[in-house]
Amino acid sequence: MHQNMHTGSVPTDMNHGGHELFDVHEALSGVIASLNQAMLLRPYVQDPELLDIIDRQYRFTLDEYNITVECFKSGTDPSHPTGSYKMKEGNDFIYGMKPSQPKKPLQNANEVNDEIISGFLLGSAKANATMKAATSLETTNPVVRRVLADSIPNCIEMAYELSIYQNKHHYYQVPQLAQQDMQQLLNAFAPSQGQPSMPDHTIQ
């Protein structure tokens, strides 16, 4: 009987499954798109604070991209571990809605502003977090899986930093439920008390 399955160990640079190869390609392509987008949008930024966010996130993402490519090609540990992105913003959101103009597509490129740029960057960070999470679930190489998994909190942190920036400038408003409705939802779950009695594993 003919066997198509590989047996035994394989070289570390070949220690990748098929799904992994396709998904990591897609994840890395998404990161490149984010970096390219930031590079193209940077000249249009007006706010020095947003410029600082773009530059810090770009440098961090580029380094993270490089070590991901490195371990993906080698199958072994990259030259340095995944870092931990630290944002400068606080974490205080402004809650509630203020009157604002309805959103609509741009009529021309001259309308590009900090609101639109920060929105693009926020969308990219969220997309990268989602894609890396899905990719890490399909990754068989333990090093690549760990590097991808460790990078997901950094995408989340970047998205959070951008959402706080947008919120502070009233680009991203956060509505709240009425207090009674909020309390009902907050109290909709209770912790489990005591030790549960597990059913017998033998079915009669």
pTM of the model: 0.86
161 by DSSP, 3-state: which? helix
Q: Is residue 133 part of a domain?
A: yes
Q: Is residue 103 part of a domain?
A: no
Query: Residue 80's domain spans which residues?
Result: 13-90+113-173
- Please report the pLDDT score of residue 194 as a whole number: 85
Cα 125 to Cα 122: distance, rounded to the nearest angstrom? 5
> Mean pLDDT in runs of 10 for the chain (204 residues)?
48 69 94 97 96 97 97 92 88 86 89 95 97 94 94 96 94 91 94 84 68
- Please report the pLDDT score of residue 163 as a whole number: 95
- Please report the pLDDT score of residue 14 as a whole number: 65
Q: Is residue 188 part of a domain?
A: no
Q: Is residue 155 part of a domain?
A: yes
- Please report the pLDDT score of residue 90 as a whole number: 77
- CATH no. for residue 159? 1.20.1260.10
- Please report the pLDDT score of residue 129 as a whole number: 97
**Cβ neighbours of residue 154 under 8 Å, at least 6 residues apart?**
60, 64, 82, 83, 84, 85
Please give the tally of structural domains in the chain.
Answer: 1
